[in-house]
Structure 1
Amino acid sequence: MLSLLTRTKSFRDPWVGHPMLNRRWQLHRRRVQLADTFCRWRRWLKPSHWESLERDGFLVIPNLLPDSAFVALRNEVEEHLARANAAHPLASNDQAGFQPKQPFPGGFDRYDGGTLNRFLHIDPEQLPCSAALSHDPRLSDCSRQVIGLPADHRKLDIYLTVHGEESRIPDLQKDLHRDTFFRALKFWIFLRPVTEQDGPFEMVPGSHRLTTARLRWEQATASAAIQHQQQPDVSGSFRIREEDLDSLGLPPPMALTCPANTLVLADVFGFHRRGRALPGRERLALYGWNRPYPFLPMSW
């Protein structure tokens, strides 16, 4: 029962996915509402100032760093990535679905279908520019606006995405989805330009707001997941069809293409996806996240 008061979102959990509690008491809806109430309280303690983040659920900041600082950061990361790729060559995957982490010294690989996600940890002694950026006050300002808590500088990695062949091994991250049942933060500081062919991050503007229609959709989707009638095994990260957005009063997703030296930050309670890309195309970024304990009443 204690799992109901944690971040647990998988409906394989016997309490989160309890058929009677969801059918009679709409348990999922109540968890969503309670988490939203606590988040609103934390955010109220930290007034917001990024209007587009409040309105759309995402923020794009071009020219994040001065030119000289960005060049130093990009060179540092590219050189570190080249060394890692030489020591641990990039490989392909022929298994469908989300695959477990494959760790190696200094990082790990994880596959979403045919898409390779390579994460490299940031050692402040080896990567001083990257480590310094993790303390940028703008990241904490945005994090407080989304979840009422500051950014955690420990949750930052170098992140290389290599797109696979979608016709053979689909990537479930390219389906519209929300990550979890409460507001959470992800951001990317892109070190290379991101074009339409590179599979940009896509977000449905305004889909981070907990409207009456969204709340009904959450409970209906949870009920279907419990009955194994809908949703692939994505551990409670609900998927939605693009054609169903209109029934929630939502617009189509926006593809956030951008030049290098751009910060893209999003509340991933909103519907989003990894954009379609040409096989073999890459994205390179510093990637951070903050998925808080949802029932925490206080900020700092």
Structure 2
Amino acid sequence: MLKQVLRYPLWLGELLTGSKSFVANPLIGSRRLNRWGLHVARVVLAHGVMRLRMGVLSWRVPRDDRRQFIEQGFVIKTNFLPEAEYRALVEEVRQADGEVRQCCQGDAQTRRMLLSPEMLVDMPRARAVLRAPAFRRLMRFCAGHLRMPICHAEWVMNGVSDAPADPQTHLHVDTFQPTMKFWLYLEEVSDINGPFIYVPGSQRLSRRRLAWEYAMSREAKTHADRYTARGSFRVTPEQAQALGDAPPRAFRVPGNTLLIANTFGVHARGGAEPGSSRLALWGMSRTNPFIPLPGLGFEWVNRLQYRVLQRQRREQDKRAAARDVQASWHRIDADDAWPRNASADRYGEHG
């Protein structure tokens, strides 16, 4: 009892951070407080702060990109790189020799290679893409923060086991605050290997969306779905239809397409054929949603966030080893851990 009382200052402080779990924090999960509007208040305040920061960071970001992201919740750019640069980037990523970590969810495996500043020393093409001024301005605007997103090379493999379906294929929202994820696809994406699905306009705070957030907050703590209980609400197809401007859109796109999405909007990973996969550069940004200033964009801050992540992963490895299990993101050292020897005709054919 005393231990719980002593934790209340921590739980209270978490209300002003990106903490989202209704089961881990009794204040966030309080039925009474949420009946009084706590969750909805956090949603509204987080979105107001994000719009303020995006306004500050909108300088020299193309107007069409800004409008599409604000109104639809995503930005899409096909033929993002010149053809020769794109093909060279794909080959460089496939031949990269960094630490590979894997997460298994349902019947899918996602493998990622962290593109830290140290890793990019030996990846000049990826470094050029991620440090291009226009790319950085667009990332910062969509993230509402000067700090660049943490970036990985990502290889998603579908249907690799007889486990239940990948939970990422269920329509959902990531959290209560606006967040940004991007994919620069290094292969064609189709119904074969699982396109990204997004409900256009579902990221906006309409009356329907706020009413839905309010209703979900009152039942989230005891919800049967564990992701919902942890603050990543699952969405039924009927709810998705009501929350957006249009039906869910599947992004079937050629390689060399850049897609940026606000994952407060309703989204999912599309269904895919067993044995299929897709390769991309992937990154995400999720910052404290209640600080009105857009942060610091110095290179030492960027390096620091990678070092913090690497240290966290090492600590997770140690804790998992002590329990004789694998960390949720664990190292893979097998010869086929990365698609280095894949046939070149699998990518780039659409430019």
Q: Secondary structure at the match of 2:95?
A: helix
Q: Give the Å deviation of 1:254.
A: 0.4
Contact 1:184 1:269 in 2 (8 A): yes
Q: RMSD in angstroms over aligned alpha carbons?
A: 1.9
Normalized per residue, the structure richer in helix is: 2
Percent identity over paired residues: 35
Contact 2:103 2:110 in 1 (8 A): yes
Q: Deviations over 1:245-273 (max 9, x none)?
A: 33335421100011111101101111000
Deviates more, 1:236-245 or 1:51-60: 51-60
Residues 1:191 and 1:248: Cα distance change in structure 2 (over 3 Å): closer
Which residue of the other structure, out of 29, 37, 55, is the alignment partner of 1:17? 29
The whole-number CA distance in structure 1 between the counterparts of 2:294 and 2:13 is: 23
1:125 and 1:140 map into 2 onto residues whose CA distance is 18
CA deviation after TM superposition for structure 1 residue 180, in Å: 0.8
Q: Which runs of 4+ in 1 moved over 6 A?
A: none
- 247 and 190 in structure 1: CA distance in 2 versus 1, 3 angstrom threshold: closer
Q: Which has the larger radius of gyration?
A: 2
**Alpha-carbon shift at residue 215 of structure 1 (Å):** 0.7
Q: Which stretch of structure 1 is more off in the superposition, 229-238 or 63-72?
A: 229-238
Structure 2 segments unaligned to the other structure (5+ residues): 1-11, 296-351
1:194 CA displacement: 0.8
**CA distance in structure 1 between the aligned counterparts of 2:146 and 2:73, rounded to whole angstroms:** 17
- Find the residue that maps to 2:227 and give its secondary structure: coil
Give the paired residue count.
274
Q: 1:134 and 2:146 equivalent?
A: no
Instruction: Say which SS state the counterpart of residue 198 (structure 1) adopts.
Output: coil
- Do the aligned partners of 2:241 and 2:248 also contact (CA within 8 Å) in 1? no
8 A Cα contact 1:202 1:272, kept in partner: yes
TM-score after normalising by structure 1 = 0.85
Does residue 263 of the first structure (1) align with residue 258 of the second (2)?
Answer: yes
Question: In the alignment, which of 239, 248, 253 is matched to residue 253 of structure 1?
Answer: 248
1: distance between equivalents of 2:144 and 2:26? 30
Structure 1 gaps, min length 5: 84-104
Residues 1:16 and 1:128: Cα distance change in structure 2 (over 3 Å): same
Secondary structure, in 3 states, of the residue corresponding to 2:184? strand
Amino acid at match of 1:245: A
The amino acid of 1:233's aligned partner reads Y
SS state at 1:279 partner: coil
CA distance in 2, matches of 1:56, 1:291: 19
Q: 1:195 aligns with which of 175, 183, 190?
A: 190
Secondary structure at 2:255 match in 1: coil
TM-score (norm 2): 0.73
1:125-204, aligned counterparts within 5 Å? 125-150=121-146, 152=148, 155-164=150-159, 168-204=163-199
